[in-house]
Amino acid sequence: MSKSQALRLSIALAICSLPFLPQTSRAADPGPTVAKDSLLVNAHTLNVYKKDYDKWSWVPRLAFRVNGPIPSGGQLYADFSIPGGPAIKFDCETQETAAGRSYQTECGGSALGDDKGTLYTGKVSFKIGMRNELAGTDVTVYTGKATIAKAHTNEVGPKAKLKFVYYVDEDWNLPIGYVYLKPADVVGWKAPTFQAAFWVRGEGYNFQPHLFYQGKEVGKMFYQGTEVGKASCESDIETEVTQQVEEGTPQKAKWSRIKCDFPSIRAWDKTGEKPGMFGEIYQMDKNPGDYELKVLWNNHLARSLKFKVGPDGKYVSTIASANKLGSDRSIFPVQIIGDQDGKWSKTAYKTDAYYGNPLTGFTALP
């Protein structure tokens, strides 16, 4: 074997031995950019303030996904401006990421230490940046504002009233819904499944999703009288409340994003496979037009999300792309039905969406 052949072989073996990287594939962006629908700002409660354990404070905690490229030497960081106090700055775990790929990270919280705690509530400005000391650069990737609020702890005692649990108000999320596609487990993008997501105020469990086309429910498959491939919903993101809040605090100061999966509904099917034992699977590209997702929460109708599908099986909406959402999801307004979310701000989305980066071309439903 020649030296050049040996070198090529060693490079190939090295590539094959690389560990799995926590990245996902997507369309290329000029990057780095933050996927807006992935960003979650939390106020992490600390059981101390300046060594005083009779007072509680908070520090910021972030979770978000970055669309590459993240170059060699790139370092993501966050910078929170606290009115009347020092800024809180911290680094986020970072990994070199190619264009067209994305990287999920989180940072802050208890790792910042007790000395960073603040008592401030209200609007807090923050910046996500990326410095590269190898290249001598420092760029701003995202800027925003989070609304910090507080509620009394459920502890009892003479000093309990000085102890507050801190959280970020996420009411702006409620009117914004998402529909998107997910590659099937075996055949991938040859037959992607229908997915949807929306937010609720409160605990994210006990949901029953139903999809309608031209007023008729679709995506139902049965075998010997039992439904197979049944649609389901579960919480995939929850705001952080690190301590129990006082009884009676609305929805326990918690918000949850709910994702719904419809394994019996495909955007299209290019596998060429014949119908199986459960019958022909429902395809959206063969049924273009208007759809409505209705969701029962604790056995009561709580959400309605209407959207349009084109003859290619894809969703007809330009809101996400026009606002550079940074993900492959489409945005449609959600109607909040009933009172399970409690009292919430119906106008917050106009100014607070995506932490001070509201959508253009979007109007919430009444």
Joined together, the tokens standing for residue 222 give 């049965």
Name the percent of the chain lying above pLDDT 70.
92
The pLDDT score that the predictor gives to residue 114 is 95
Q: How far apart are CA 96 and CA 132, in angstroms?
A: 11
Phi, psi of 356, rounded to the nearest 5 degrees: 85, 15
- 3-class secondary structure, 71: coil
* Residue in 59, 58, 67, 61 with CA at minimum distance from that of residue 37: 67
- CA–CA dist 107, 110 (Å, integer): 9
End-to-end CA distance of the chain: 73
Residues 6+ apart with CB under 8 A from 8: none
Residues of the chain with CATH 2.60.40: 21-168
Selecting from 3.40.1400, 1.10.10, 2.60.40, 3.40.630, what CATH number does the domain 21-168 have? 2.60.40
- What is the per-residue pLDDT for 28? 44
DSSP letter, residue 79: E
Which positions of the chain have pLDDT values less than 70?
A: 1-31
pLDDT tens-place string over residues 276-329 = 777 789 999 999 999 999 999 999 999 999 999 999 999 999 999 999 999 999
User: For position 30, what pLDDT does the model report?
Assistant: 60
Q: What is the pLDDT of residue 13?
A: 35
Instruction: Tell me if the pTM is above 0.95.
Output: no
